[in-house]
């Protein structure tokens, strides 16, 4: 042990999951293991506590376990790795079937306790990144997305699964709503994940994503109540106009109803005239002459009957017009009530918000409805997104003339833009960018939208690059599916599925937190520990499934030495257990930013 600064004879054990050892030690340092051990699970202890099996499930996700049975039947079964169990302060690991039964026994109360535990250990790291972002860039950058979790289309054992659009096809499964924060230290920091049925669509989740982000960071921008008040004023004018139109249509309905009654009365009088002629002259012995008294009287009966039919059709149209207008007035009234309620809420939030921040939210086209954009703008965010409707793109294409300049923003992409353009689908003027992509002989178009103080139309290349930087969340989604194997749902209970989602985003964050912590440890030698290790895929796929010797020192320090046949032969990782982890200081208290 060339790097060990102590002379005591250590205890030596072997592991087939090298990185799970330091990750377990780190999880204990930040209090994660201790918190998970207190999670309530309605299950009796047999060989192991149910909380131990919950922690084992997290360790399995950190190892990139594809199927739950791989815990016991994989190439290197985790349940036989006592070294890893010791690192996580557990007496041992259970068979995968025991883990499955524990996850089946979990309830909604368990899920909430797991979320509280994850939030408790995450908050110091999130607070630190929020402070660093505000100090370095003066803003927070959020990304939101909705990703599918498909299952077999013939399965009937997944609770709450529904058919929806996933992986460019209609498939059975779930949707996960994710929010990430651009982090100066870690690149990407997951803030929250919420599972939904598969038929959930993006345009319904913008509110939940933003509220989840604000809850996790404890910060929010200043609500734009001035814009909202103007919108309410315009809405009031629309409501008054609609009410006037409703009154006019009701008047037309009354007039039309009177015309029907008048036509009906004329018809009855014409019938009476025919009856009077027949009674006076007797029944005709032959067909009446057209211009005789009886012929003329009968002709008038037909005229009045056809008039009644026309008046009835007019009455139906008038009634339909009133019904539609009533629905329009009701809709406007409901929108008005919602806007007024939102204004009250925003005023209260601004009153409590003593330290508003500048924040940017980037969303893909699925979230780009006019109402979502308006709500985000009123919430105080600078918005980068795409228009959800192809009609917007079609209307913009008609605006483009042969003389209009296009700016190259990518290898096969061009843009042209309009600053503060007012379109029908959104109540506020937006910066609009029409994208044109050249793919062979074909051209594709899309529409970027922006609201905020940044003059994006002056530098289209920068606008294009900044919006497409949201690929970091798409890379995170891909990482979750293919590194932490979230495209293989390991359980079939509602609580278990929610816990798997929580553990997947926790695992992605924990690997990054631990990489910085490990790099700060003394006496590191050899690749890959000569620099902060940021490749999550390499750490999970390779290092967490690599054999190593673990030297347990008497004072609690640990030395991890990779085997000669491992990808990093002879590399050593020294972990000073005696050194306390200094969590980031809580710079946010009661929504007040306390600067250094």
Does any domain span residue 303?
Answer: yes
Angle formed at CA 307 by CA 304 and CA 311, multiple of 5 degrees: 135
Range of the domain at 50: 11-111+492-593
pLDDT beyond 90 at 180: yes
List, for residues 385-442, the tens digit of each pLDDT value.
998 888 888 889 888 887 788 999 988 899 999 999 998 889 999 999 999 998 877 8
Q: How many domains does the chain have?
A: 3
Does any domain span residue 214?
Answer: no
Residues of the chain with pLDDT > 90, as a percent, come to 59
Q: Are 213 and 192 spatial neighbours (Cβ–Cβ below 8 Å)? A: yes
pLDDT value, residue 273: 85
Same domain, 420 and 523: no
Same domain, 556 and 500: yes
Q: Where are the alpha helices (DSSP H) in 47-107?
A: 50-62, 70-73, 82-87, 96-105
First to last CA, the chain: 42
Which residue, of 352, 387, 408, is where some domain finishes?
352
List, for residues 275-286, the tens digit of each pLDDT value.
888 888 777 766
Which residue, of 317, 352, 387, is where some domain finishes?
352
pLDDT beyond 80 at 527: no
Does any domain span residue 125?
Answer: no
pLDDT beyond 60 at 531: yes
Strand partners, 193: 178
Does any domain span residue 486?
Answer: no
pLDDT beyond 50 at 7: no
**Cα(361)–Cα(51) distance, rounded to whole angstroms?**
37
Same domain, 341 and 386: no
**Cα(570)–Cα(295) distance, rounded to whole angstroms?**
117
Q: Where are the alpha helices (DSSP H) in 14-49?
A: 20-29, 32-36
Which residue, of 299, 319, 352, is where some domain finishes?
352
Same domain, 428 and 325: no
**Cα(252)–Cα(390) distance, rounded to whole angstroms?**
38
Does any domain span residue 190?
Answer: no
Does any domain span residue 135?
Answer: no
pLDDT value, residue 530: 61
Same domain, 246 and 343: yes
**Cα(2)–Cα(282) distance, rounded to whole angstroms?**
133
Same domain, 434 and 496: no
Same domain, 428 and 463: yes
Name the pTM for this structure.
0.85
Confidence of residue 332 (pLDDT cuts 50, 70, 90): very high
Same domain, 453 and 532: no
Same domain, 497 and 564: yes
Does any domain span residue 511?
Answer: yes
Q: Are strands 430-439 and 413-421 parallel, antiparallel or unpaired?
A: antiparallel
Strand partners, 150: 173
**3-state DSSP percent of the chain in helix, strand and coil, to 5:** 50, 20, 35
Q: Are 177 and 128 spatial neighbours (Cβ–Cβ below 8 Å)? A: no
**Cα(8)–Cα(191) distance, rounded to whole angstroms?**
43
**Cα(213)–Cα(122) distance, rounded to whole angstroms?**
13
The chain-wide mean pLDDT, for the chain, equals 88
Q: Are 152 and 169 spatial neighbours (Cβ–Cβ below 8 Å)? A: no
Tokens 């250990």 belong to: 121
pLDDT value, residue 323: 95
Same domain, 404 and 328: no
Distance, C-alpha 469 to centroid of its chain: 17
Does any domain span residue 124?
Answer: no
pLDDT beyond 70 at 2: no
Token pair for 129: 């990144």
Rg of the chain (C-alpha set): 35
* Length reported for the chain: 596
Same domain, 27 and 63: yes
**Cα(17)–Cα(71) distance, rounded to whole angstroms?**
12
Same domain, 318 and 386: no
């Amino acid at each position: 042990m060339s790097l060990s600064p102590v002379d005591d004879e250590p205890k030596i054990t072997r592991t087939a999951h090298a990185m799970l050892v330091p990750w377990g030690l780190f999880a204990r340092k930040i209090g994660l293991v201790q918190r998970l051990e207190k999670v309530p699970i309605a299950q009796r202890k047999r060989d192991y506590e149910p909380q131990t099996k919950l922690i084992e499930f997290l360790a399995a996700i950190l190892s990139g376990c594809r199927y739950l049975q791989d815990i016991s039947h994989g190439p290197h079964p985790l349940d036989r790795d006592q070294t890893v169990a010791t690192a996580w302060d557990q007496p041992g690991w259970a068979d995968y079937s025991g883990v499955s039964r524990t996850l089946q026994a979990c309830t909604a109360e368990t899920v909430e306790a797991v979320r509280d535990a994850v939030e408790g250990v995450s908050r110091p790291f999130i607070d630190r990144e929020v402070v660093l972002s505000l100090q370095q860039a003066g803003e927070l950058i959020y990304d939101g997305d909705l990703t599918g979790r498909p299952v077999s289309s013939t399965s009937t054992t997944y609770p709450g699964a529904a058919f929806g659009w996933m992986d460019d096809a209609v498939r059975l499964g779930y949707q996960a709503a994710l929010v990430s924060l651009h982090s100066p230290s870690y690149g990407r920091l997951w803030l929250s994940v919420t599972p939904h049925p598969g038929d959930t669509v993006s345009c319904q989740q913008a509110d939940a994503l933003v509220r989840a982000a604000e809850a996790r960071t404890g910060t929010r921008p200043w609500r734009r109540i001035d814009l909202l008040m103007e919108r309410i004023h315009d809405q009031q004018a629309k409501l008054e106009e609609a009410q006037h139109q409703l009154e006019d249509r009701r008047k037309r309905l009354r007039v039309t109803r009177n015309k029907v009654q008048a036509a009906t009365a004329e018809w009855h009088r014409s019938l009476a005239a025919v009856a009077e002629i027949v009674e006076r002259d007797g029944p005709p012995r032959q067909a009446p002459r057209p211009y005789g008294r009886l012929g003329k009287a009968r002709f008038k009966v037909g005229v009045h009957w056809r008039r009644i039919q026309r008046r009835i059709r007019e009455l139906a149209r008038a009634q339909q017009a009133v019904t539609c207008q009533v629905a329009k007035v009701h809709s406007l009234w409901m929108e008005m009530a919602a806007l007024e309620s939102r204004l009250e809420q925003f005023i209260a939030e601004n009153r409590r918000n003593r330290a508003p921040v500048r924040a940017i939210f980037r969303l893909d086209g699925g979230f780009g409805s006019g109402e979502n954009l308006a709500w985000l703008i009123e919430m105080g965010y600078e918005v980068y997104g795409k228009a959800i409707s192809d009609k917007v793109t079609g209307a913009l294409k008609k605006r483009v003339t042969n003389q209009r300049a296009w700016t190259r923003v990518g290898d096969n992409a061009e843009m042209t833009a309009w600053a503060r353009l007012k379109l029908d689908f959104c109540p506020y003027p937006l910066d609009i960018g029409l994208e044109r992509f050249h793919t062979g002989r074909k051209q594709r178009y899309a529409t970027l939208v922006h609201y905020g103080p940044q003059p994006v139309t002056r530098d289209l290349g920068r606008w294009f690059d900044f919006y497409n930087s949201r690929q970091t969340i798409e890379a995170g989604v891909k990482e979750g599916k293919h590194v932490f194997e979230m495209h293989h749902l390991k359980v079939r209970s509602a609580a278990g599925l929610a816990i798997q989602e929580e553990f997947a985003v926790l695992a992605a964050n924990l690997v990054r937190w631990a990489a910085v912590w490990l790099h700060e440890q003394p006496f590191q030698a050899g690749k890959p520990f000569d620099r902060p290790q940021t490749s999550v895929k390499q750490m999970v796929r390779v290092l967490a499934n690599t054999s190593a010797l673990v030297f347990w020192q008497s004072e609690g320090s640990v030395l991890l030495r990779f085997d000669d046949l491992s990808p990093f032969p002879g590399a050593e990782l020294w972990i000073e257990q005696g050194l306390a982890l200094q969590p980031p200081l809580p710079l946010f208290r009661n929504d007040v930013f306390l600067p250094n």
